Amino acid sequence: MQSNKNIKPKIIYLASDHAGFNLKEDIKKLLIKKNKKVSDLGPFNSSNSVDYPDFAHKLSKKIKNNNEFGVLICGSGIGMIMTANKYKNIRATLCYNVKSAKLSREHNNANVISIGSRLTKKKLALECINTFFKTKFKGGRHLRRVKKI
């Protein structure tokens, strides 16, 4: 039997802009409740306007291996994934329903989920987060395709 000593625990980085701050806090509570290792990269209040690329860059630079994942939240979710996907190790997806969250993991091995706080109700956003983190990558023909990205 193989030892689990060398397996690093999964870490989930969170970041948002001012528009996504409240949803980020709700997602953080959900992940902590599920005993996930979470690192909040900010912002740490919603009262000041901030630039979403700054936080997408900050999160994307952190993800270096298969045990590191990210959650990005801005008003639409779009600016965050546009920024994050410029990084070699990132496969960021915009999720707007549970099926998109599931397929992005199963077929695309996404490691960053982005949600638009102005376009997605809290309940649905939390369902997307749950689905994203419980879904495994299928590999097989999907691995061949992901390698072509």
Residue 4 falls inside a structural domain: no
Residue 19 falls inside a structural domain: yes
Cis peptide bond upstream of 53, omega within 30 = no
Residue 2 falls inside a structural domain: no
Q: What is the percent of the chain with per-residue pLDDT over 90, rounded to a whole number?
A: 83
Residue 99 falls inside a structural domain: yes
Q: The domain containing residue 110 runs over which residues?
A: 11-147
How crowded is residue 68: how many other Cβ atoms within 10 Å of its Cβ?
19
> Catalytic residue positions?
74, 107
For 41-83, write each residue's pLDDT tens digit: 999 998 899 999 999 999 999 999 888 999 999 999 999 999 9
Alpha helices in the chain (DSSP H): 21-33, 52-62, 78-84, 98-106, 122-134, 141-147
For 9-37, write each residue's pLDDT tens digit: 689 999 999 999 999 999 999 999 999 99
- Cα–Cα distances in Å, from 146 out to 89, 91, 109, 142? 12, 9, 7, 6
* Residue 39, φ and ψ in degrees, nearest 5: -125, 115
Contact 67, 10 (CB under 8 A): yes
Q: How many domains does the chain have?
A: 1
Q: For residue 100, what is the domain's CATH number?
A: 3.40.1400.10
d(C-alpha 28, C-alpha 49), whole Å: 20
For 80-113, write each residue's pLDDT tens digit: 999 999 999 999 999 999 999 999 999 999 999 9
Going by the DSSP 8-state scheme, the letter that residue 8 receives in this structure is: P
Compare 58 and 145 and report the one with higher pLDDT. Answer: 58
Global confidence as pTM: 0.92
